[in-house]
Amino acid sequence: MRRRYIRRVERALRLSDEEKHEIIRDLQEIFTSAAEHGETEEQVIARLGSPKEYVHQIHEQLGKMEEIHQRRKARIQIGILWLLAALLFLAGGIPLYLRTPAHVIGQADAMTQIQLSGSWIDPAWVWMFLGVLALAAGCYLWIRHLGKRG
């Protein structure tokens, strides 16, 4: 029970490895000290609260809550950008994939002499370009997010 509690706390902590190691060491000392004073593991856990509550208290004490919220917000933004990129690639890629080959009109079996030309940009390529931009923005934010974690 003690190991499981400590393991859940360790996974939930959003701190550097050094800080995490220190918190886990302190938590193990809490359990050891409580056992020496006749307190059971269940009583210690009831006093500390759930792993999530305990971690929340630790984050508040260390002043990390704002940083954690900013990281969560950044991950959500990255996810939205990557989802948008995927949708834009689909919006541009499906029409390009399903497009009738050049020089074919009405699914004719033979080549025709009629040529069609347009002066406007193909919307499918516009969607693909926007998808590339969204993907690039998502990658940029992801790299920045990874850089701030260290």
- Burial degree of 111 (CB within 10 A; 0-12, 13-18, 19+): exposed
At residue 130, the pLDDT reads 94
pLDDT at residue 150 is higher than 60: no
d(CA 113, CA 97): 24
Q: What is the mean pLDDT of residues 50-78?
A: 87
At residue 97, the pLDDT reads 85
Q: Which residues contact 85 (CB under 8 A, 6 or more apart)?
A: 131, 132, 134, 135, 138
CB count within 10 Å of CB 54 equals 21
What proportion of the chain, given as a percentage, has pLDDT over 90?
39
Residues 39, 48 contacting (CB under 8 angstroms): no
Query: Per-domain residue ranges for the chain?
Result: 2-63, 66-149
Each residue's pLDDT tens digit, 27-60: 999 989 999 999 988 998 999 999 999 998 888 8
Q: What is the mean pLDDT of residues 121-145?
A: 90
Q: Give the helix, strand, coil percentages of the chain, each rounded to 5.
A: 75, 0, 25
Q: What is the mean pLDDT of residues 70-84?
A: 91
At residue 133, the pLDDT reads 95
At residue 118, the pLDDT reads 65
Q: What is the mean pLDDT of residues 64-85?
A: 88
Task: Decide: helix, strand or coil at residue 16.
Answer: coil
Each residue's pLDDT tens digit, 103-130: 666 665 666 666 666 667 888 889 999 9
